[in-house]
Amino acid sequence: MAPAPAASNRFTGVLNRISTKNLRGDLFGGVTAAVIALPMALAFGVASGAGATAGLWGAVLVGLFAALFGGTPTLISEPTGPMTVVMTAVIASLTASNPENGLAMAFTVVMLAGVFQIAFGVLRLGRYVTQMPYTVISGFMTGIGLILIILQLGPFLGQASPKGGVIGTLQALPQLLSQARPLEVSLALMTLAILWFTPKQLTKIAPPQLIALVLGTLVSLPLLGGVEAEDVRRIGEIASGFPQLQLPIFSASDLRLMVVDAAVLGMLGCIDALLTSVVADSLTRTEHNSNKELIGQGLGNVVSGLFGGLPGAGATMGTVVNIQSGGRSALSGISRAVILMLVILVGAQLAAEIPQAVLAGIALKVGVDIVDWDFIQRAHRISRNGALIMYLVIGLTVLVDLITAVFVGVFIANILTIDKMSALQSQAIKSVSTGGDDDLDIPTDERKLLDQGNGQVLLFQLTGAMIFGVAKAISREHNAISDCKAVVFDLSEVSHLGVTAALAVENAVEEAIEVGRQVFVVGASGTTRRRLEKLGLFNKLPAERTEIDRREALRTAVMGIA
């Protein structure tokens, strides 16, 4: 019987933090999150092109498995605006290239995205996922918001979404406006008005998305009058049973595209989920397990794809509402998923009369909320370069694709950061031959030793992190050395010595030896010393010039030139 506790602990470690100590709060949080999830899932399902059913089952399956196996107890996972935007593009491209199996291949991409997420978690890459400049995060999130807005213009105006995605919609905009259907435009505008202007007191009773969904549907029915039902675009019948299994389908010609789309979808889901986990941590004063969360998100997306559901991630709105309603453990997310599943199985037929214009209004409002209006207003005042990066990422996200936008944005931001850091670190490289230098941080007796050298003893001092960007500064500073007979390379204040900077130090030492100077390398310790040892630098100098401290090196150098 002894092994039983260990097995139990292993099982508990696999599951998320589930507790019955806060049963009432978790159940109420789950119910509230389910009420908010219903209209959003319908809207995202229709917006993606996969159908309302895909949105509903995506909300159930991703939410359930992420809650069971994730690493953030209060996180609510479901189809989100960013994930829906990418999924819309995936469905459009695959159905265009393979009309017969395109949708099934799109669900295969969802499964692959989940596999990528699981791999990220297993490889413990969670803490690296969100380590990108905020200008890039803001840019691609704003770009995704704009895409979602643009893609809803067709349904918002009472028409089918034009082919060709964002570009196709923008090109067809004059035609969409000229053929707009007043009734459906009115329904969409009413939806937006409800979402924007519902009093806060009323939102505490029911979320504005649900109010808009119910009122929009009810109002649309008597407004029909003599108009035929088919003249108003509606969701149509939703299957009320369990979803059918969707086995993975691959196409040799589209395999590369599917893998790339899956990587983009998986990475976006990781970023979306972990950023929301940070929000949950701040509200609950807890700390999530990012790697475990990625595994839970990945399992959720694999299962969702297997049953024809949309991909999902951590949803900020649902998570915040869950916490504010009392949710504190993963039981809230599990109860939310079960409640949504019961709604689908029992009351799916009630959704058939929901106008697509109402759902377009809900999705368009999500797009508006995704846009980072606050940072857009302040970016140019904070940093001109940061603002330019943000606008570049927005443009590439909307007009090209997400992976290009993120890659280019991160690359440029890192180059600018490295340049700035290199410029700052270059100031920490000093070569002095007199103790009177005010910037020199050495004791008085060592300053006196430098003065006794009469300009013939040079102290070459490095301080802080020596990244590859400072290699040129090391070479430049060393090349500027005038005639001297001894050089003391002081590495005692170096916190990090990169490979490129280490090679620059090695070159400086070798050049000093070649011209006949006495060379001392002192203060190297830890990883700095080990790196120089692996380069073989200490083999080029006698031990008495590397195994002493700075004071002794200066004293020996002064005595050597006397």
pLDDT tens-digit profile of 126-155? 888 878 888 998 998 899 999 999 999 999
Average pLDDT over residues 422-429: 80
The tokens describing 100, both together, are 């017969």
Asked if the model's pLDDT at residue 295 lies above 70, the reply is: yes
Q: State pLDDT tens for residues 434-481.
A: 766 666 778 888 888 988 888 899 899 898 888 888 888 888 887 777
Q: Per DSSP, what are the bridge partners of residue 519?
A: 487
Asked if the model's pLDDT at residue 6 lies above 50, the reply is: no
CA atoms within 13 A on the CB side of 158: 16
Residue 308 pLDDT: 96
Mean pLDDT, the chain, whole residue set:
89
Asked if the model's pLDDT at residue 433 lies above 90, the reply is: no
User: Cα–Cα distances in Å, from 459 out to 104, 437, 448, 515, 557?
Assistant: 69, 11, 13, 17, 10
Question: 11: pLDDT confidence band, cut at 50, 70 and 90?
Answer: very low
DSSP reduced 3-state for 466: strand
Report helix angle 134-151 to 384-399, nearest 10: 40
**Angstrom distance (rounded) from CA 243 to CA 13:** 30
Residue ranges of alpha helices (H) inside 330-401 are 331-347, 356-370, 373-382, 384-399
Average pLDDT over residues 165-170: 90
Q: Is residue 98 within 8 Å of residue 105, measured between CB atoms? A: yes
Write the DSSP string, 487-543.
EEEEEEEEEEE-HHHHHHHHHHHHHHHHTT-EEEEE---HHHHHHHHHHTGGGGS-G
Q: State pLDDT tens for residues 319-338.
A: 999 998 899 999 999 999 99
**Angstrom distance (rounded) from CA 171 to CA 164:** 9
**Angstrom distance (rounded) from CA 24 to CA 32:** 12
Instruction: Catalogue all structural domains in the chain, each as residue range(s) with its CATH number.
Output: 22-372 (no CATH), 427-561 (3.30.750.24)
Q: Per DSSP, what are the bridge partners of residue 450?
A: none
Q: Is residue 321 within 8 Å of residue 16, measured between CB atoms? A: no
Pairing state between β 77-78 and 313-314: antiparallel
Q: Which of 151-165, 422-436, 502-516 has the lowest mean pLDDT?
A: 422-436
User: Cα–Cα distances in Å, from 92 out to 89, 150, 302, 479?
Assistant: 5, 15, 20, 59
Residue 229 pLDDT: 45
Which residues, at least 6 apart from 16, have a Cβ–Cβ distance to it below 8 Å?
A: 67, 68, 69, 70, 71, 72, 73, 292, 296, 329, 330, 333
Nearest in space to 546 (alpha carbons), one of 511, 514, 509, 516: 509
